[in-house]
Chains A and B, each alone.
Chain A
Amino acid sequence: MQKYPLTTLSQLFLLTLCLSFSACREDFLEIGLFAELEETNFMQSESDARLATNAIYNVLREWRYHGGFPIIDIMSDDAGKGSNPTDGIQILAFDDFTFTPDAASVSGWYSQLYVGVKRANLVINRTPEITDMSELSKAQLIGEARFLRALTYFQLVRVYGDVPLILTVNPERKVARTPANEVYDLIIEDLQYAAENLLERSDYPAEELGRATRGAAKGLLAKVYLFRSDFANAEKFALEVINSAEYSLDPDFANALSATGEFGSGSLFEVGATDDGFTQGGHQYGNTQGIRGTPDRGWGFNRPTYDLIQAFDSDDPRMDATIAFLGEMLGGIVLQGDPTTPDTVYFEGTNQIKELECYNQKAWTPGTTPLASWDHNVRMLRYADVLLIAAEALNENSKANEALVYLNQVRERARGGNPNTLPEIMETDQTALRQLIWEERRLELALEQHRFFDLVRTGQAATVLGPLGFVAGKHELFPIPQSEIDLSEGTLSQNPGW
Chain B
Amino acid sequence: MTTRIYFCVLFLTIQAFAYGQGLKIEGTVTAEDDGQPLAGASVVLLGTNRGVNTDAEGKFQITLNKAEDSLQISYYGYLSQVVKPSRQRLLNIQLVADAQSLDDVVVIGYGRMRKSDLTGSVYSVRGDDLVKNPAANPLQALQGKVPGVQISSASGNPGESPIVRIRGIATLLGGAGPVFVVDGVILDDISFLNSGDIESIEVLKDASATAIYGTRGANGVIIISTKRGVAGKPRVQFSASHSLESVANQIDLLNGREFAAVVNEIAPATYNNIDLLPNVDWQDLIFQDNAPIQQYELSTSGAEGRHSYYLGGSYYRQEGVIERSAYERITLKLNNSFKATSFLTLGNNLTFSQERKEFGPNVVASAYRAWPTNEPLDDEGNFLEVMGSGNPIAALNFGENYNRRLRAIANLYAEVKFLKDFTFRSSYQADLAYTKSTFFSPVFFVSPTQQNETSDLAKTARDEATWIFENTLRYNKNLENHRFEVLAGYTAQSTKREGLTGTIENLLRERPEFYYLDAGDGTTIDAFNNLESFAYISYLFRFNYVLKDRYLFTATFRRDGSSKFGPENRYGNFPALALGWRLSEEPFLQSFSALSNLKLRASWGINGNDQIPFRSRFARVNGNSLEAVFGQDESLFPGATLADAGNPDLQWEDTETIDIGLEFGFFDNKLTGEIDYFNKRTNRVLVPLLLPAHFGNGPFRRVVFNAADIRNVGLEFFVNWKEQRGDFVYSISLLGSRLRNETLDIGAADEFIQDGSLGNGQLVTRTETGIPVGSFYGFKVAGVFQNEEELGQFPTLSGQRVGDLRYEDINGDGTINTDDRTILGSYIPDYLFGFNFSVGYKGFTLDADIQGQQGNEIYNGKRAVRPELYNYEGYIRDRWTGEGTSDTQPRLTTGGVNYSPSDWFIEDGSFLRLRSLTLSYDFSSSLVRRLRMQDVRLFLRGTNLYTLSRFSGYSPELASANVLSSGIDLGTYPITSVYTIGLNISL
Contact = CB atoms under 8 A, between A and B. Distances in A.
Given A35-B530, A481-B693, A209 B620 contact: no
Contacts of B641: 42, 51-52, 55-56, 58, 119, 122
Contacts of A118: 642, 695-696
Interface in B633-657: 633-642, 646
B696 A114 contact: yes
Given A31-B534, A52-B639, 8 more contacts: A20-B469, A29-B536, A36-B621, A42-B640, A271-B629, A272-B628, A281-B636, A487-B691
A23 B799 contact: no
Given A36-B615, A210-B631, A274-B634, A114 B695 contact: yes
B382 interface: no
Contacts of B418: 6, 9
Contacts of A206: 631-633
B620 A37 contact: yes
A39 B692 contact: no
Given A23-B469, A86-B799, A112 B629 contact: no
A20 B491 CA distance: 8
B699 A112 contact: yes
B749 interface: yes
A107 interface: yes
Interface of B: 3-5, 8-9, 12, 343, 416, 418, 424, 426, 469, 471, 490, 492, 494, 529-537, 561-563, 567, 570, 614-615, 618-642, 646, 690-701, 749-750, 798-799, 896
B619 A171 contact: no
Contact of A29 (B471, B562, B799): B562
A54 B638 contact: yes
Contacts of B636: 274, 280-281
9 contacts: A5-B343, A6-B5, A23-B469, A37-B622, A39-B620, A40-B619, A89-B798, A111-B693, A111-B698
A86 B900 CA distance: 12
Contacts of B632: 206-207, 209, 262-263
Contact of A28 (B490, B532, B535, B701): B535
A209 B695 contact: no
**Most A C-beta atoms less than 10 A away, residue of B633, B636, B699:** B699
Interface in A12-28: 12-13, 16-17, 19-20, 23-24, 28
A206 B690 CA distance: 42
B630 A207 contact: yes
Nearest to B495: A31
A29 B698 contact: no
B694 A166 contact: yes
Given A23-B492, A487-B690, A38 B618 contact: yes
B700 A31 contact: no
A348 interface: no
B413 to A, nearest CB: 12
Interface of A: 1-2, 5-6, 9, 12-13, 16-17, 19-20, 23-24, 28-42, 48, 51-58, 61, 64, 85-86, 89, 104, 107-112, 114-119, 122, 164, 166, 169-171, 173-175, 206-211, 262-263, 271-274, 278-281, 375, 481, 483-484, 486-488
A39 B619 contact: yes
A182 to B, nearest CB: 15
B563 A31 contact: yes
A17 B473 CA distance: 11
Contact of B621 (A41, A108, A483): A41
Nearest to B631: A207
B631 A30 contact: no
B416 A12 contact: yes
A5 B6 CA distance: 10
A56 B641 CA distance: 8
Contact of B640 (A2, A6, A48, A115): A48
B695 A171 contact: yes
Contacts of A1: 5, 8-9, 12
A274 B637 CA distance: 12
A273 B634 contact: yes
A30 to B, nearest CB: 7
B639 A57 contact: yes
A34 B531 contact: yes
A20 B896 CA distance: 64
B692 A488 contact: yes
Contacts of A30: 563, 567
A257 B634 CA distance: 16
A262 B629 CA distance: 12
The 4 closest A-B pairs by CB, nearest first: A118-B696, A55-B639, A57-B628, A272-B629
Contacts, number: 230
A55 B699 contact: no
Nearest to A262: B632
A21 to B, nearest CB: 9
A281 B627 contact: yes
Contact of B634 (A166, A211, A281): A281
Contacts of A487: 690-692
A34 B631 CA distance: 33
Contacts of B534: 31
Given A1-B8, A58-B627, A279-B625, A31 B426 contact: no
A280 B626 CA distance: 10
Contacts of B426: 16
B626 A55 contact: yes
B410 to A, nearest CB: 18
Nearest to B692: A487
Contacts of A111: 693, 697-701
Contacts of B692: 164, 173-175, 484, 487-488
Contact of A211 (B471, B533, B630, B693): B630
Given A29-B537, A38-B620, A39-B619, A51 B639 contact: yes
Contacts of A112: 698-699
A66 to B, nearest CB: 13
B627 A29 contact: no
A272 B695 contact: no
Given A54-B638, A208-B631, A281-B629, A36 B622 contact: yes
B623 to A, nearest CB: 6
Given A16-B471, A39-B620, A166-B694, A55 B628 contact: yes
Contacts of A12: 416
A33 B264 CA distance: 60
B637 A54 contact: yes
A487 B689 CA distance: 10
Given A13-B424, A28-B537, A107 B693 contact: yes
Contacts of B537: 23-24, 28-29
Nearest to A166: B694
Contacts of A262: 632
Contacts of A209: 630-632
A100 B4 CA distance: 83
Contact of B531 (A35, A104, A375, A488): A35
B804 to A, nearest CB: 13
A116 B693 CA distance: 11
A368 to B, nearest CB: 10
Contacts of A32: 618
A42 B5 contact: no
A166 to B, nearest CB: 5
A34 B533 contact: yes
Contacts of B635: 207
Contacts of A207: 630-633, 635
Nearest to B641: A55
A484 B693 contact: yes
A208 B630 contact: yes
A323 B832 CA distance: 63
A38 B643 CA distance: 10
A84 to B, nearest CB: 11
A61 B896 contact: no
A23 B468 CA distance: 11
A460 B546 CA distance: 88
Nearest to B622: A36
B696 A38 contact: no
